[in-house]
Chain A
Amino acid sequence: MAIKLEIPTALRPYTGKQASVECEAATVGEALRRLTSTYADLRKHLYTDDGRIRSFVNIYVNDEDIRYLEKENTAIKDGDTISIVPSIAGGQES
């Protein structure tokens, strides 16, 4: 399925400043793997060392958060848009 991946501003330095990337994939997980295979420097910012999507990385398929769908197994179809949207967190040492 031909889909578009929207890249947040903070990650565009790693995609040659592209704001979106197109790829072929059947699921969200496959799309993200293809994205990080092409742009390897993205991987550490999207995934933890043990391969999970970082908690502050939010993935939407056509404005639906994949946490409420099938997560990385969410199927995608031609023309879908996958958006990577940051949430921001922090705080002082406890």
Chain B
Amino acid sequence: MLHLSEQIAREIREHGARDYPHETCGAMLGLDGEDGREVLALFPLTNRRDDSPRNRFAITSDDVRAAERMARERRLELVGWYHSHPDHPARPSEYDREHAWPWYSYIIVSVANRHPGDMTSWRLTDDRSTFLPEEIVNRVSAPPTR
């Protein structure tokens, strides 16, 4: 279960709309606790796939390290990543699966003709065979305990 506020969800959608028709991407910072995982802040990033930004995104190891530093500064954890699928459903592709890491939450937002739509979250299984959907819950109360 992934908790995030309406504001966080809106920021992800707006980032997807700004970068349309290219895929957008960013890091999600938050806490991982007994009651689930919560996204408390975003770290928007630049899609480094200059060669094919309409259907691919890449976040370099330097960007990952920068996201980790930001998380530490804010006393948060790097809990996952978001990206958009321009004119495509918010479902992970085989390419997404092949390149995924376990443990992280992966949010995908569909953006059709610059209008953001469905938003889903996914987590890679331990055996890497598939993504399992992760329920997104709007956070309206206290964050999960650590």
Do the two chains belong together in a single complex? yes
For A8, A92, A93, which residue has the most chain B Cβ atoms within 10 angstroms?
Answer: A92
Q: B102 and A11: CB pair below 8 A?
A: yes
Proximity string of chain B (90-118) to chain A, C-beta cutoff 8 Å, 1 when within and 0 when not: 00111110011111101000000000000
Within 8 A of A (CB), among B49-98: 49, 52, 55-61, 63-65, 68, 77-78, 81, 83, 85-86, 88, 92-96
Q: A9-B103, A10-B102, A44-B127 are in contact. Are A92 and B23 (CB under 8 A)?
A: yes
Within 8 A of A (CB), among B4-43: 23, 25
Number of residues in B with C-beta < 8 Å to the partner?
Answer: 37
The number of inter-chain residue pairs (CB within 8 angstroms) is 88
Q: B128 and A92: CB pair below 8 A?
A: no
Q: B59 and A91: CB pair below 8 A?
A: no
Q: B64 and A87: CB pair below 8 A?
A: yes
Answer whether residue A79 sits at the interface, using C-beta atoms and an 8 A cutoff: no
Q: A41-B126, A94-B55 are in contact. Are A89 and B93 (CB under 8 A)?
A: no
* A93 to B65 CA separation, bound complex (whole angstroms): 28
Q: B99 and A88: CB pair below 8 A?
A: yes
B interface, by DSSP: helix, strand, loop or mixed? mixed
Q: A89 and B58: CB pair below 8 A?
A: yes
Q: B103 and A89: CB pair below 8 A?
A: no
Q: A9-B78, A85-B64, A85-B65 are in contact. Are A91 and B55 (CB under 8 A)?
A: yes
Q: Which residue of B lies closest to A93 (CB)?
A: B93
Q: A87 and B95: CB pair below 8 A?
A: no
Q: A90 and B99: CB pair below 8 A?
A: yes
Q: B61 and A92: CB pair below 8 A?
A: no
Give the residues in chain B near A89, CB-CB below 8 Å: 49, 56-59, 95, 99
* A93 to B52 CA separation, bound complex (whole angstroms): 12
Give the residues in chain A near B85, CB-CB below 8 Å: 91-92
Interface residues of B (CB under 8 A from A): 23, 25, 49, 52, 55-61, 63-65, 68, 77-78, 81, 83, 85-86, 88, 92-96, 99-104, 106, 126-128
Please name the 4 residue pairs, one residue from A and one from B, whose CB atoms are nearest each other, closest first. A91-B56, A88-B59, A90-B96, A92-B88
